[in-house]
Structure 1
Amino acid sequence: MEQNELYPIFLKVTQLEVLIVGGGNVGLEKLTFLLKSSPNAKVTVVAPNFHQKLIELAKNHSVKLIDDSYKVSYLTDKHMVIATTDNIDVNIDVYKDCKDRNILINVADNPPYCDFYMGGIVTKGNIKIAISTNGKSPTLAKRLRQFFEEVIPDNINELAFNLNKYRNKIKGDFSNKVAEMNKLTEKLL
């Protein structure tokens, strides 16, 4: 049985510089996904043409649009890149340029050219759940996201806030705090 060996992390994209190469439908989809999860993400989009909805989305956020074809110089000071053009040769050039500079890269819909995948994300206040199918089925990740959005109550954020307040009041060392929190939350299962 094949195992998903991806390591999930939550990136502070308000502190990282993100570049999206491509301004068409796929660029719009990736930008929408990123901003839904992180509305204040620091994003630059470079493309010779932009989908009208992408332009509107950029205006409502602090997204910088650059009307130009991809050039390696656009990678300067970037931490992660998403290549979304409909030209596979351009996407592979972006991939190679990123790999040469140790920049994380996702070439949309092309798993061999990805350091990371943009999986399904469920957000309820401070609670965020990421879903990965290891690049096998974005549709399944979408359906699982919809399922969890339905079943996780909207007031889960209040529970997280109250548990945080309680955790901060517990005396003792780390293992004592873990034991107390485990005892308190065991009934959640």
Structure 2
Amino acid sequence: MNELYPVFLKVSQLNTLLVGAGVVGLEKLTFLLKSSPNARVTVLAPEISEDVKRMADHNERLVLVQDIYRKKYLEEKHLVIAATNDKEINKEIHKDAKERFLLVNVADTPEYCDFYLGGIVTKGNVKIAISTNGKSPTTAKRLRQLLEEVVPENINEMVENINLYRETLKGDFEYKVKALNKLTEELIKKKD
């Protein structure tokens, strides 16, 4: 059973530590910045790949620290992603993060994850997250590809128009919900 509770984090307002700047670290960083280009991320690694350095050259909110992992780097962080090629260091990062009540993701180790970086479809203000409960990232990828094709490109225009309509509604919360439900019910009706 999938007991995950989906949330959308404003990572531009949080401090994220990514430990590891090799292939896996680059993958995690690319995914994070694709979805949230203004994320505040500190990348920590004794060696930083050229690809990660190039990303930092074009993103002032990306800070590179060339050093080995130490607990002190968890200070003032909200999220931690452990993406080193050393399982023992990743376990240490997990332990240290949990002692500080930080949310942590350890790459390719679901039992050490408080959250997963799932598949994401973005069309303007519409964002759809996909999770397989850490069981099959490739399935999440394929579902993302399918939804990118199915969700219409003009959905953002619809969302903007509904938001404008919502601002004109008078009445209590219940009235507004009923009015918006009536307006949007056409979205799920099957076309014959």
The aligned residue for residue 133 of structure 1 is 132
Structure 1 letter corresponding to 2:110: P
The aligned residue for residue 4 of structure 1 is 2
Question: Aligned partners of 1:69, 1:49: CA distance in 2, in Å?
Answer: 9
Choose from 7, 18, 34 the match for 1:36. 34
The aligned residue for residue 65 of structure 1 is 64
CA drift of 1:185 comes to 1.1
Choose from 47, 50, 64 the match for 2:48. 50
RMSD: 0.6
Q: SS state of the match for residue 130, structure 1?
A: strand
The aligned residue for residue 116 of structure 1 is 115
The aligned residue for residue 76 of structure 2 is 77
TM-score, normalized by length of structure 1? 0.98
CA drift of 1:188 comes to 1.2
Structure 2 letter corresponding to 1:130: A
Question: Aligned partners of 1:110, 1:136: CA distance in 2, in Å?
Answer: 10
CA drift of 1:54 comes to 1.1
Query: Is 1:149 aligned to residue 154 of structure 2?
Result: no
Give structure 1 stretches of 5+ with no counterpart. none
CA drift of 1:153 comes to 1.3
Q: SS state of the match for residue 12, structure 1?
A: coil
CA drift of 1:171 comes to 1.2
CA drift of 1:91 comes to 0.3
The aligned residue for residue 96 of structure 1 is 95
> How many residue pairs end up in the alignment?
187
Instruction: Kindly report structure 1 stretches of 4+ aligned residues shifted beyond 3 Å.
Output: none
TM-score, normalized by length of structure 2? 0.96
Structure 2 letter corresponding to 1:38: S
